[in-house]
Amino acid sequence: MIRALFIFLLGSMLFPVDGTAPPQAVSFRVLAFYTDKGEQDHIDFAKQALPFFEGLARKDNFEFQATTRWEDWNAENLKNFQVILWLNDFAHTAEQRKAFEDYMKGGGSWLGFHVSAYNDRDTGWPWFVDFLGGAVFYGNNWPPLPATIVVDDRTHPVTRHLPATFTSPANEWYIWKPSPRLDKQVKVLLTLDPKNYPIGLKDTITGGDLPVAWTNTRYRMMYMNMGHGDKIFTSNEQNLLFEDAVLWLGRRK
Ligand code: ZN
């Protein structure tokens, strides 16, 4: 009892309950875009991502907001945020695409997950393909499956807490053609271990270079292929990867 009281008093001294402690200024501001329509597995991921990033924001002292309103996707609003997340959706209209290009060229940061980088020959947005390091969607496995991931570079700020390989929870993995690794300015951080092949039952990826996370060093950007279903946040190692990615983008000078 006395011990509990002592801890309470000590706590009160460190963190006054009357609110006199000066609030720490947030170090950067993050805005997440997502949709609550479309493929349920992509919605499930976004719905879990929101509390995950809210928790990180409290822990790591940044501000986190999320919206499904693509009307807010304009230069006037975007300039208030240092990092943009695309959880399960992407810019659709010419105006939204232009606003994104301007934001990235102006030094903004982007962290995209899974379907947010999806593009094929009908997308008609060559700038975005270039932004991704040339990556065009080529195929996927089905059903979603866990996979062994190889960490290409463990010295990078985004991957420094990871072991040499780790198991990523069940996901729908995308393979791209051409592989963004062929772009000399792209740095691949994670790759699907070829030992996973063949991966899939209904749809099977049998081989090929499958970068899972990479950055195009011409921009402040990072893409990660995770983002399908409700298992993504069940790996502590992978959660550290997400945390380090948002901190790397947010704290870059
Ligand atoms: Zn998917």
Tell how far the Cα of 98 is from the centroid of ligand 1, in angstroms.
25
What are the backbone angles phi and psi of residue 58, rounded to the nearest 5°? -65, -45
User: 88 C-alpha to center of ligand 1: Å?
Assistant: 9
pLDDT at 40 over 60: yes
From the CA of 157, how far away is ligand 1's center (Å)?
27
Q: Which CATH superfamily includes the segment(s) 27-251?
A: Class I glutamine amidotransferase (GATase) domain (3.40.50.880)
How does pLDDT run across 214-226, given as a tens digit for each residue?
A: 999 999 999 999 9
Whether 22 shows a pLDDT value over 70: the answer reads: no
Q: How far is the CA of 222 from the centre of ligand 1 (A)?
A: 18
Distance from the CA of 18 to the center of ligand 1, in angstroms?
47
- Ligand 1 center to residue 163 CA distance, Å? 26
What are the pLDDT digits (tens) for 46-66? Answer: 999 999 999 999 999 999 999
Q: How far is the centre of ligand 1, averaged over its atoms, from the C-alpha of 24 (Å)?
A: 38
Q: How far is the CA of 134 from the centre of ligand 1 (A)?
A: 20
CA of 11 to the centre of ligand 1 (A): 46
Amino acid 26: pLDDT: 84
149-191, pLDDT tens digit by residue? 999 999 999 999 999 999 999 999 999 999 999 999 999 999 9
Indicate if the pLDDT at residue 8 is higher than 70. no
- pLDDT digit string, tens, across residues 128-153: 999 999 999 999 999 999 999 999 99
Distance 63 CA to ligand 1 centre (A): 28
- Tell me the CA–centroid distance for residue 174 and ligand 1, in Å: 8
Q: Which protein residues have their CB within 5 A of the ion that is ligand 1?
A: 172, 228
For helices 40-60 and 236-251, the axis angle rounded to 10 degrees is 60
Q: How far is the CA of 252 from the centre of ligand 1 (A)?
A: 30
Question: What is the chain's mean pLDDT, rounded?
Answer: 92
Distance of CA 75 from the midpoint of ligand 1 (Å): 29
Residue 122: CB atoms within 10 A of its CB come to 5
